[in-house]
């Protein structure tokens, strides 16, 4: 098919060539729901749904193991529309396959305030939307996370019984834009490395991007690229539904490699004027061309949002057949549970993220130490305890586990070394808890989101705080989806020393705190570290947690005998023994050590200071005003200390308060020199306090 | 060579097999300078310099057209050490080839406060450091930017004369980590697409990353991957210096494709115990193993930092020969100038970024309009004017030029369509000014930095503000390097409407303002837009400029007849006609329209308000306190309005001021609904003001 030139003629002839008029009707229903949705909204992306409709129809009605009546069925196949701008495709499919919440009214309220049909699919807005997508490449990497999660679940629960609790596939539709983004290369490389045979990706290969011909900027050999990353690649005509069927079936047979189906399609398929052009990409066809497309595809001009009765019944018939898989799974699972009561209990514990009563105090306790060590080391102690009490928690690092100290010691490593990649991955490869994401922070972030979205696991991923910048879009999406992904960042300030300014965070702390729905902890000691982790693994509806840790040692913070660690969950609290004074130090993380030492130094001079530890300003923001006032005291009599940009503190203090921060980039030097030159010693802080008070 | 097992024996036998003892001595000098530097600093990465020494020696002494006495020679070859952690390699080479500032004392002060030898190479610290590297993948993409800049310069100035002003190569040494980062895939795809035959990359293929065997997380077929992106790929033994020579010579002959030389090396080469292991990667060998390595390679135990006399003279001899190229260029250039006086003047104007007197007022004027339009449209007007007066300004977009409106209308497009990639790129391909980076924001950011670093061009790159998150590490590096890259971001708030929260900035404005050395403009009208651009293209030493623009229309802001646009360069100023009032509105960008409309509405009720437009809070921060106080007035009587996170405003206002911001994620809906529901209408703001005052 020539996708560059010509008009309705080719489109019509393509249609005439199809063998099944009913299918054609179904596919065109999807197309026109998308077209009419975009027309009514007067904005949106009609071209992609028009081009993807054939393959999406085949996938959703012949393959996708889902049950619209039980959208959260644990073993459903996952479908991610990485090309989120084609959202009307997903909404149309959810509607036609009978997801109750995706009503006709919703389709007609596309992109309107309060609808479930946002411009890009928003996780949580309606069942069946498995991930928020739109920022390109994210869904691609979410799928890799889901694939990992499914493999990990299978390794734990797929016993020798004939029935396997985990049988699902991860399907993703992606676009040129997804492939151009670097995150997809990272994720593809990881998926190929791990041999994720449960991934089946359909690439909508339409040669067009927003600015015009794709080949304005992209000419790579996509087949070769994915083969280089150990994917199984097929090339098909994406409008040939039988070819799509065959390709998916073939992909299902390749169980040791992820599958990429390159489906050549025509963007804006059916539009006499705009098909195959970027004009079809990012704006409505317009009434005239929408009408012309209806003529070209033999569709009635009226009514808009038309769904023929026979289409409704065909979808119902097909979905009913697919939903049988769910019923069979229910039956099989009941038998499996009876035969494997212990495993069944573990399965439920995993999916419910079950934690023992008082687990947070156990973790606070696990963080205790009898000598000053770095909070990353304290975190390591806590993680070992989590390994004991919460088997559903898994984690990994972006090739920095030896520095971030996040490995579960007895967790087992999900690793495939040397020439293993030429053999199918062993089934028990995924029994481990420690993942190796490689030097791919962005894909790690999105994969963490995918693992979290999949369901039964709570997962953390770690790197240095500075590299949070490399994965910020994924952090933001976790926050937007309000899912509890856990991001762990060590080496959290200029105090990492010699690696220098490229590796030293300065603006990252307050910058991350600006992301809505997110909880950042920067613990000062082991008890705070334990409670930070407890928040992260126990939190069910609060969005992601970020835990920020030091490379360097911190003191043991004074807590009285009656200290209740739950105070830490108020975000900021007055330290025992430092409740009274002329003014208040407020500090986070390693700077609490500095505040306490300075307070001690000043105490010898008869100057008394209150000291507030603020492990989480995000949580503190959510406290009642009374509590905030009680903790902060007089906002003019505050000395705020944090080794990062100072400006965020003005939210908490008056302009005549003293803020000790770092408003320049760092420097390469040993810790002691950095402390001295940046004025982060008790002596230097005391001197500034004397001048200020 | 078996790089996985064995000890000093193989290393020694490899040495015995070399044909040139003097070369061996030179290479080992590099190795031991790195080892001793890391030992003395008690931190650093010895393994990579030890492994890269052979190829780096060959490159720097047989190929690199540079002159240590004239480090800023315009046509020098550029060398970027993308694997910045191997910094001692670069410092050793700069020292041995005779860069005056890289003294022995500097090598001995590696990673110490105030030295020019930071943990990772810092641009500006010493001549010969062409880019700040360390955050992996950045240098890889900087090189692509440099390659583009060189091609653009050549297309403009390489005449039919025998002498060509632009002859240089871009050499990059990169590592596993660089290749795992997605940015390198983006950059490689772009480089292959553009056929950047002036790139020669050496990949230090050592199979080891920080956490251990590289194949823990990476197993892709690198050769195939780069071939898929249309690179010329060679595989060699990276310790066989003749093979390195041959490969570079061959790469120089491939002028229509970027070249990748995969050089298999042994990390920690020469260390009996740690060679080929991750133990050699990120920490000193330790005194014992450093000594053992000296024994193994036949090196004297003392003194540390030993440079044999014959090595000094050999480097001097080789560098002298290389520097001849510079002298020949000087001669050739003088003749070329004589023959091409007009072009020579353009060459100088380009390199000096020459601008006509009063250019900023011309741009302010170009931004004027007689009806409300979006600031992205106003920016487009200004860009056309820039095209007329500043030929050295070029730009591009991440596949959003049609939305960001940043193309030069008569600039010519650097595009290679359809099947062109199978033919050598035409020479004049790079005559255009409009670049197409593809949907690759991160590589775009780093390429902008590379183009800027190269010298003669001032370059901008654009996408939506939300996608600044995708390129944040590159923005940060521009700020750290204090280079004037220009980042243009449109669709700057929830007011982009229907695309919804995935595309709507909320935290980005104040988050970007947290980056040190950076100047963000959010202009309110055409005059401010013109002055923002004038700052961006005229700025020589102030670091990067970010220009943030609206998708939606803004009003024409009232400026009196005497208005001096230079006021805009104070960051914030009182609007003409709104100098007196009971309180002060301060707003940025589109919210200045809202502030003025609200002030008008309240004026009818007898409530008078001052209105301050604050196009750049970053510049405002640098003003004298008196001016700040004069503009802000009573900090308790301020209403601050910006469609983003509110917390940053507390730096400027007291806690009893009124801040109208957005502290949640956005929503998908038409503009008018968004304005209404978020309370960003004159009526809603007036109501809040009434309640507050």
Q: What is the dihedral of CA B92, B98, B99, B102, to 10 degrees?
A: 50
Cα A435 to Cα A416: distance, rounded to the nearest angstrom: 11
Residues forming a β-bridge with A613: A573, A587
User: What integer is the mean pLDDT of B77-83?
Assistant: 98
Distance from CA of B15 to the nearest CA of A (A): 27
Question: What interhelical angle do A472-481 and A138-157 show, nearest 10?
Answer: 70
Nearest CA in chain B to A673: B113
The position carrying tokens 């007291």 is B654
Going by pLDDT thresholds of 50, 70 and 90, the confidence category of residue A215 is confident
Q: Give the pLDDT score at B681.
A: 98
| Cβ-defined contact of A218 to B193 (cutoff 8 Å) | yes
**B residues 467-486 lying closer than 8 A (beta carbon) to A:** 467, 469-470, 472-473, 476-477, 479-480
Nearest CA in chain B to A224: B228
Record the pTM: 0.96
B412 touches chain A (CB under 8 A): no
Nearest CA in chain A to B207: A418
| pLDDT above 60 for A41 | yes
List, for residues A576-629, the tens digit of each pLDDT value: 999 999 999 999 999 999 999 999 999 999 999 999 999 999 999 999 999 999
Burial of B316 (0-12, 13-18, 19+ CB in 10 A): middle
User: What integer is the mean pLDDT of B125-130?
Assistant: 97
CB A641 within 8 A of CB A609: no
Helix (H) or strand (E) holding B12: helix B8-16
Q: What is the dihedral of CA B280, B282, B288, B292, to 10 degrees?
A: 30
| pLDDT above 60 for B9 | no
Spatial CA neighbour of A486 closest among A424, A565, A547: A547
Q: Which of B441, B591, B642, B675 is catalytic?
A: B441
Residue, of A19 and B176, whose pLDDT is higher: B176
Cα B122 to Cα B118: distance, rounded to the nearest angstrom: 7
User: What integer is the mean pLDDT of A491-517?
Assistant: 98
User: What integer is the mean pLDDT of A190-209?
Assistant: 94
| Cβ-defined contact of B189 to A665 (cutoff 8 Å) | no
Cα B168 to Cα B66: distance, rounded to the nearest angstrom: 10
List, for residues A630-652, the tens digit of each pLDDT value: 999 999 999 999 999 999 999 99
| pLDDT above 70 for B168 | yes
- Residue A323, SS3? helix
Going by pLDDT thresholds of 50, 70 and 90, the confidence category of residue A216 is confident
Q: Give the pLDDT score at B542.
A: 79
Going by pLDDT thresholds of 50, 70 and 90, the confidence category of residue B1 is very low
The full DSSP string for A30-52 is: HHHHHHHHHHHHT-S--HHHHHH
B422 touches chain A (CB under 8 A): no
CA of A647: how far to CAs of A368, A615, B650, in Å? 33, 18, 8
| pLDDT above 90 for B309 | yes
The full DSSP string for A649-684 is: GGGTS-TTSEEE---S----S-HHHHHHHTT-SHHH
Spatial CA neighbour of B504 closest among A23, A476, A30, A266: A476
| pLDDT above 90 for B672 | yes
User: What integer is the mean pLDDT of B401-417?
Assistant: 91
Nearest CA in chain B to A464: B135
Q: Say if strands A232-237 and A259-264 run parallel, antiparallel, or are unpaired.
A: parallel
Cα A121 to Cα A127: distance, rounded to the nearest angstrom: 11
Going by pLDDT thresholds of 50, 70 and 90, the confidence category of residue B7 is very low
Q: Give the pLDDT score at A420.
A: 61
Residues forming a β-bridge with A232: A259
B317 touches chain A (CB under 8 A): no
The full DSSP string for A461-505 is: EEEEGGGGGGGHHHHHHHHHHT---EEEEES-SGGG-TT-GGG--
- Residue B454 dihedral angles phi and psi, to the nearest 5°: -60, -35
**A residues 273-312 lying closer than 8 A (beta carbon) to B:** 282
List, for residues A251-267, the tens digit of each pLDDT value: 999 999 999 999 999 99
Q: Give the pLDDT score at B635.
A: 97
Cα B318 to Cα B322: distance, rounded to the nearest angstrom: 6
Q: Give the pLDDT score at A416.
A: 78
- Residue A54, SS3? helix
Whole-number percent of chain B with pLDDT over 90: 91
A265 touches chain B (CB under 8 A): no
Cα B141 to Cα B184: distance, rounded to the nearest angstrom: 6
Across B427-502, the runs of DSSP E, i.e. the strands, are 434-436, 458-464, 486-490
| Cβ-defined contact of A402 to B211 (cutoff 8 Å) | yes
Across B66-144, the runs of DSSP E, i.e. the strands, are 78-81
Q: What is the dihedral of CA B233, B236, B239, B245, to 10 degrees?
A: -70
Cα A137 to Cα A614: distance, rounded to the nearest angstrom: 36
Dig out the tokens for B5 from the structure: 């097992």
| pLDDT above 60 for B418 | no
| Cβ-defined contact of B217 to A667 (cutoff 8 Å) | no
Question: What interhelical angle do B590-603 and B682-692 show, nearest 10?
Answer: 60
Residues forming a β-bridge with B584: B610, B638
User: What integer is the mean pLDDT of B623-646?
Assistant: 98
Looking at the annotation, which residues of A are catalytic? Answer: 441
Cα B20 to Cα B473: distance, rounded to the nearest angstrom: 43
Q: Which of B647, B659, B664, B666 best tests the A interface by mutation, with the highest count of A CBs <10 A?
A: B647
**A residues 500-539 lying closer than 8 A (beta carbon) to B:** 500-503, 506-507, 510-511, 514-517
Dig out the tokens for B297 from the structure: 């390679």
List, for residues B31-41, the tens digit of each pLDDT value: 999 999 999 99
| pLDDT above 70 for B3 | no
Going by pLDDT thresholds of 50, 70 and 90, the confidence category of residue B343 is very high
User: What integer is the mean pLDDT of A127-149?
Assistant: 98
User: What integer is the mean pLDDT of A512-516?
Assistant: 98
The full DSSP string for B385-407 is: HHHHH-TTEEEEESS-HHHH---
B23 touches chain A (CB under 8 A): no
Distance from CA of A647 to the nearest CA of B (A): 6
The full DSSP string for B24-86 is: HHHHHHHHHHHHHHHHHHT-S--HHHHHHHHHHHHIIIII----TTSTT-TTPPEEEESSGGG
Going by pLDDT thresholds of 50, 70 and 90, the confidence category of residue A209 is confident
CA of A435: how far to CAs of A143, A398, B248, in Å? 16, 9, 38
The mean predicted confidence, pLDDT, of chain B is 94
Long-range contacts of A302-308 (CB under 8 A, 24+ apart): A304/A36, A304/A39, A304/A40, A305/A32, A305/A33, A305/A36, A305/A37, A305/A104, A305/A107, A305/A108, A306/A29, A306/A32, A306/A36, A307/A29, A307/A33, A307/A96, A307/A104, A308/A25, A308/A29
**In sequence order, what are the residues at sequence separation of 6 or more whose Cβ sits closer than 8 angstroms to the Cβ of residue B595?**
B585, B586, B587, B609, B611, B639, B641, B685
Cα B424 to Cα A426: distance, rounded to the nearest angstrom: 45
Q: Give the pLDDT score at B2.
A: 37
| pLDDT above 60 for A419 | no
Alpha carbons within 13 A on the beta-carbon side of A566: 4
| pLDDT above 60 for B563 | yes
Helix (H) or strand (E) holding B324: helix B309-339
Cα A666 to Cα B473: distance, rounded to the nearest angstrom: 15
Cα A23 to Cα A242: distance, rounded to the nearest angstrom: 11
User: What integer is the mean pLDDT of B213-234?
Assistant: 92
CA A128 to the chain's CA centroid? 17
List, for residues A305-360, the tens digit of each pLDDT value: 999 999 999 999 999 999 999 999 999 999 999 999 999 999 999 999 999 999 99
Spatial CA neighbour of A142 closest among A66, A231, A82, A71: A82
| Cβ-defined contact of A219 to B667 (cutoff 8 Å) | no
ipTM of this complex: 0.96
Going by pLDDT thresholds of 50, 70 and 90, the confidence category of residue B215 is confident
Cα A685 to Cα B360: distance, rounded to the nearest angstrom: 44
Cα A669 to Cα B43: distance, rounded to the nearest angstrom: 10
Q: Give the pLDDT score at A17.
A: 46
Sheet holding B170-175, edge to edge: B78-81, B170-175, B199-205, B259-264, B232-237
B136 touches chain A (CB under 8 A): yes
Nearest CA in chain B to A221: B228
Cα B254 to Cα A424: distance, rounded to the nearest angstrom: 38
Number of neighbouring beta carbons within 10 Å of residue B563: 16
User: What integer is the mean pLDDT of B371-390?
Assistant: 98
| Cβ-defined contact of A215 to B416 (cutoff 8 Å) | yes
Q: What is the DSSP letter of A557?
A: P
User: What integer is the mean pLDDT of A147-169?
Assistant: 97
Cα B192 to Cα B188: distance, rounded to the nearest angstrom: 6
Q: Give the pLDDT score at A12.
A: 43
Spatial CA neighbour of B147 closest among B83, B59, B78: B78
**In sequence order, what are the residues at sequence separation of 6 or more whose Cβ sits closer than 8 angstroms to the Cβ of residue B309?**
none
C-alpha torsion sign, points A255, A256, A258, A259: negative
């Amino acid at each position: 098919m020539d996708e560059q030139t010509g008009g309705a003629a080719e489109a019509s002839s393509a249609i005439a060539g199809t063998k099944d008029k009913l299918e054609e009707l179904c596919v065109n229903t999807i197309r026109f729901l998308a077209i009419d949705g975009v027309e009514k909204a007067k904005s949106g992306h009609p071209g992609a749904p028009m081009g993807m409709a054939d393959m999406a129809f085949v996938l959703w009605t012949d393959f996708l193991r889902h049950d619209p009546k039980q959208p959260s069925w644990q073993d459903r196949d996952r479908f991610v529309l990485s090309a989120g701008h084609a959202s009307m495709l997903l909404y149309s499919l959810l509607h036609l396959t009978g997801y109750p919440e995706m009503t006709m009214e919703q389709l007609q309220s596309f992109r309107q305030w309060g609808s479930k049909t946002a411009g890009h699919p928003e996780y949580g807005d309606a069942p069946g939307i498995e991930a928020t997508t739109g920022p390109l490449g994210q869904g691609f990497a979410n799928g890799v996370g889901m694939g990992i999660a499914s493999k990990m679940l299978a390794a734990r629960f797929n016993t020798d019984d004939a029935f396997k609790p985990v049988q699902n596939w991860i399907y993703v539709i992606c676009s040129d834009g997804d492939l151009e983004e670097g995150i997809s290369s990272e994720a593809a490389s990881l998926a190929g490395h791990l041999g994720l045979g449960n991934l089946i990706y359909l690439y909508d290969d339409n040669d067009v991007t927003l600015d015009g011909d794709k080949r304005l900027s992209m000419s790579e050999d996509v087949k070769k690229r994915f083969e280089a990353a150990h994917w199984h690649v097929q090339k098909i005509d994406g409008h040939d539904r039988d070819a799509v069927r065959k390709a998916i079936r073939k992909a299902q047979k390749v169980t040791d490699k992820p599958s990429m189906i390159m489906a050549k399609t025509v963007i804006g398929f059916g539009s006499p004027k705009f098909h195959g052009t970027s004009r079809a990409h990012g704006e409505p066809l317009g009434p005239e061309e929408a009408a012309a497309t209806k003529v070209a595809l033999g569709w009635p001009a009226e009514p808009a949002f038309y769904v023929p009765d026979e289409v409704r019944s065909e979808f119902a018939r097909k979905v009913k057949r697919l939903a049988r898989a769910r019923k069979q799974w229910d039956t099989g699972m009941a038998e499996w549970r009876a035969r494997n009561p212990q495993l069944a209990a573990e399965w439920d514990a995993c999916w419910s993220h079950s934690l023992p009563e008082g687990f947070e105090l156990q973790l606070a306790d696990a963080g205790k130490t009898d000598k000053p060590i770095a909070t990353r080391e304290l975190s390591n102690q806590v993680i070992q305890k989590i390994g004991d009490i919460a088997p559903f928690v898994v984690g990994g690092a972006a090739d920095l586990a030896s520095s971030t100290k996040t490995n579960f010691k007895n967790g087992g490593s999900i690793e495939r070394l040397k020439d293993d990649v030429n053999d199918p991955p062993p089934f028990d490869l995924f029994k481990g808890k420690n993942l190796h994401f490689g030097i791919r922070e962005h894909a790690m972030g999105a994969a963490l989101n995918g693992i979290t979205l999949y369901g039964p696991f709570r997962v953390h991923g770690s790197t240095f705080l500075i590299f949070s910048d490399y994965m910020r879009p994924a952090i933001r999406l976790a926050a937007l989806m309000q899912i509890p992904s856990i991001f762990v960042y060590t080496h959290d300030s200029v105090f990492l020393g010699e690696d220098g300014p490229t590796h030293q965070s300065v603006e990252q702390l307050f910058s991350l705190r600006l992301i809505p729905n997110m909880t950042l902890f920067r613990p000062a000691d082991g008890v705070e570290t334990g409670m930070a982790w407890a928040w992260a693994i126990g939190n069910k509806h609060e969005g992601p947690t970020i835990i920020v840790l030091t490379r360097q040692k911190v003191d043991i913070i004074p807590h009285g005998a009656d200290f209740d660690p739950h105070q830490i969950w108020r975000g900021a609290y007055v330290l025992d023994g430092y409740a009274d004074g002329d003014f208040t130090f407020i500090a986070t993380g390693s700077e609490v050590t500095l505040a306490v030492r300075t307070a001690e130094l000043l105490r010898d001079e008869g100057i008394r200071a209150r000291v507030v530890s603020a492990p989480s300003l995000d949580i503190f923001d959510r406290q009642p005003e009374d509590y905030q006032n009680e903790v902060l005291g007089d906002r003019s009599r505050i000395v705020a200390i944090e080794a990062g940009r100072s400006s965020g503190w003005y939210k908490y203090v008056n302009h005549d308060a003293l803020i000790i921060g770092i408003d320049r980039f760092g420097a390469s030097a040993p810790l002691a020199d950095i402390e001295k030159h940046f004025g982060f010693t008790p002596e230097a802080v005391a001197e500034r306090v004397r001048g200020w008070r």
